[in-house]
Structure 1
Amino acid sequence: MLVVNRIRKTIKSKVILNDISLTLNAGTIYGFVGRNGSGKTMLFRAISGLMKVDAGDISYQGKKLHQDFLVLPNLGITIENAGLYPEFTGLKNLQLLAKLNRKIDTEQIKKSIKRVGLEPNDSRSFRKYSLGMKQRIAIAQAIMEQPDLILLDEPTNSLDEEGVRLIRQVIREEKQRGAMILLASHNKEDIQLLADKVFYLDAGRLVDEVYPHAE
């Protein structure tokens, strides 16, 4: 269980997260929608531990972020730029990242790359990837260690129709595996087809929540 308890964040006198509280459970896909600047990405940064909040707290499995751990354990995340080395191949980049936790081997990394529709042995460097390929390798990075919690910020951006279908299927499979998935997307179909519950943010405040399939 992930509990967000009345978190607040201000940057340069601007409130970007305003008294947000959430209780989220495993095996569920939560959609987050709102206009640009509504606070979706900042909320994901706060939940992951990439950004400290000014007030409130975040706990996961009963332990508090920035108190019991610096970043959430068993976390997979795609947020903003992929942050990979441009001169290395996709496989080499993921191998370097996997060394941080030493949970998976090269064969498991290759399997994740194949799941998102890429060729693991592609010799091209990351800088030569198309935008769609970069998006796919970012998803592979997020899922490769079979994390318990997955944060996906605009996961179908820059993908063609086939890529969108494939990534949606990967997200469904991760849910079936038991992962908790937080999904922010401007693509209404992503939210309608994938999310079990949807939260609407406006100016850093949680203003509404619905079940997308209830109609």
Structure 2
Amino acid sequence: MTSEQQAEGHRIERVVARGLVKTFGSTVALRGVHATIDTARLTLIEGANGSGKSTFLGILGTVIRPTSGTVTYAPHADDRALARRSIGWLSHESLAYPDLTGRQNIELAARLHGLSAQTAWREAEERFELGNFATRPLRTCSRGQRQRIALARALVHRPSLVLLDEPTTGLDRPSVARLLDLVVAEVKRGAGVVVVSHEPDLFRDLATARIVLERGRNAVSAPEASTT
């Protein structure tokens, strides 16, 4: 199965979050957040430190379970396992295997998605301009190089929902420009891209939807970003 065929088979069309509450012990991270996220657009999640942005993104990505509330992934309803097949996740840290090379990390991700490792590597090498650094253990690479590997790994299966948590941290200007070009390309491909960033100005011109959180609640939302 090609990455295009797999992506079509598990495509997410819309994500609807209702009444999300998340507590960590006595700390309340989310207090009833509502949001609707569509594909083929960039949604920017904004808010001060501690407002719940990364927790919200983690719930959307199925890596955090809400204490209460629901997330549905049309047309997969609340089937987290099925939805996960069409989610690409880039955490603040790469979460890749540091002792594997960049190429090995990408090929491993491809095999986990039932794709050809060789084809996935060839496509990633060209798209992300991966040089000789991709043949070295990831721990020896720079922040920007690790980020390129992590992005290639996250997008190897052509996900319809792409979640980016602080993707510009530690990147130089050329790397940031490359990232923004990639975000534009993913939206044009039809993916829903959701970004949490401490530099929201970088993404505002590209975003057609915004979700603003304040102390774990919806604060304000631009007209394009439905919260109903």
Normalized against structure 2, the TM-score is what? 0.85
User: Is contact 2:76–2:83 with CA below 8 Å preserved after alignment?
Assistant: no
> 1:126 Cα deviation (Å)?
0.3
Of the three residues 122, 147, 150, the one matched with 1:138 is 150
How far apart in 2 are the matches of 1:15 and 1:121? 42
User: Is contact 2:133–2:145 with CA below 8 Å preserved after alignment?
Assistant: no
Deviations along 1:67-88, whole A, 9 cap, x unmatched?
Answer: 5637633110011321222221
> 1:121 Cα deviation (Å)?
7.1
What's the secondary structure of 2:96's corresponding residue? Answer: coil
User: Is contact 2:60–2:71 with CA below 8 Å preserved after alignment?
Assistant: yes
Give 1:19's aligned amino acid. G
Deviations along 1:152-181, whole A, 9 cap, x unmatched?
Answer: 011122111111111100110010000011
Structure 2 counterpart of 1:15:
28
Of the three residues 177, 192, 210, the one matched with 2:189 is 177
How far apart in 1 are the matches of 2:42 and 2:134? 32
Go from structure 1 to structure 2 and tell me whether the alpha carbon gap of 1:51 and 1:122 turns closer, same or farther (over 3 Å shift).
closer
Kindly report the root-mean-square deviation, in angstroms, between the aligned alpha carbons of the 2 structures: 2.0
Give 1:22's aligned amino acid. A
Go from structure 1 to structure 2 and tell me whether the alpha carbon gap of 1:190 and 1:10 turns closer, same or farther (over 3 Å shift).
same
Structure 2 counterpart of 1:77:
89
Of the three residues 41, 46, 49, the one matched with 1:33 is 46
What's the secondary structure of 1:2's corresponding residue? Answer: strand
How far apart in 1 are the matches of 2:59 and 2:160? 17
Range with greater deviation from structure 2 (96-105 or 131-140): 96-105
Range with greater deviation from structure 2 (119-128 or 42-51): 119-128
How far apart in 2 are the matches of 1:104 and 1:177? 21
- Give % identity: 28
> 1:54 Cα deviation (Å)?
1.4
User: Is contact 1:91–1:121 with CA below 8 Å preserved after alignment?
Assistant: no
Go from structure 1 to structure 2 and tell me whether the alpha carbon gap of 1:33 and 1:23 turns closer, same or farther (over 3 Å shift).
same
4+ runs of 1 displaced by more than 4 Å?
A: none
Aligned ranges for residues 1-215 of structure 1 at < 5 Å? 1-65=14-78, 67=79, 69=81, 72-119=84-131, 122-210=134-222
Unmatched tracts of structure 2, length 5 or more: 1-13
Go from structure 1 to structure 2 and tell me whether the alpha carbon gap of 1:88 and 1:203 turns closer, same or farther (over 3 Å shift).
same
Q: How many residues are aligned here?
A: 211
Range with greater deviation from structure 2 (119-128 or 4-13): 119-128
Go from structure 1 to structure 2 and tell me whether the alpha carbon gap of 1:122 and 1:16 turns closer, same or farther (over 3 Å shift).
closer
What's the secondary structure of 2:109's corresponding residue? Answer: helix
What's the secondary structure of 1:210's corresponding residue? Answer: coil
User: Is contact 2:138–2:146 with CA below 8 Å preserved after alignment?
Assistant: yes
User: Is contact 1:17–1:205 with CA below 8 Å preserved after alignment?
Assistant: yes
User: Is contact 2:44–2:200 with CA below 8 Å preserved after alignment?
Assistant: no
How far apart in 1 are the matches of 2:16 and 2:136? 42
> 1:104 Cα deviation (Å)?
4.2
